[in-house]
Amino acid sequence: MELNWALIAPLFFVQFILMIVALIDLIKIKKTNGPKWLWVIVVLFVSTLGPILYFIIGRKEH
């Protein structure tokens, strides 16, 4: 079965890369809104929206 890579690429980017970026950010950041491990679970269990929610309400700038 052929795959439409033009279609996959943006999805791959948004879903997979977003998760990676969120996890790396979680590693680096000192403080989050609420416990860090909770955000790890949200990022891992709720695809796409989890990482986005993390970036909006989970991050805490110092």
Residue 2 CA to chain centroid, in angstroms? 28
Paired strand residues for 59: 32
* DSSP class of 48: T
Give yes or no for residue 26 binding another protein (CB under 8 A).
Answer: yes
Give yes or no for residue 44 binding another protein (CB under 8 A).
Answer: yes
> For residues 40 and 23, is the Cβ–Cβ distance under 8 A?
yes
Give yes or no for residue 12 binding another protein (CB under 8 A).
Answer: yes
Query: What residues line the site for another protein (CB under 8 A)?
Result: 1, 3-4, 7-8, 11-12, 14-16, 19-20, 23-24, 26-28, 30-31, 33-38, 40-42, 44-49, 52-53, 55-57
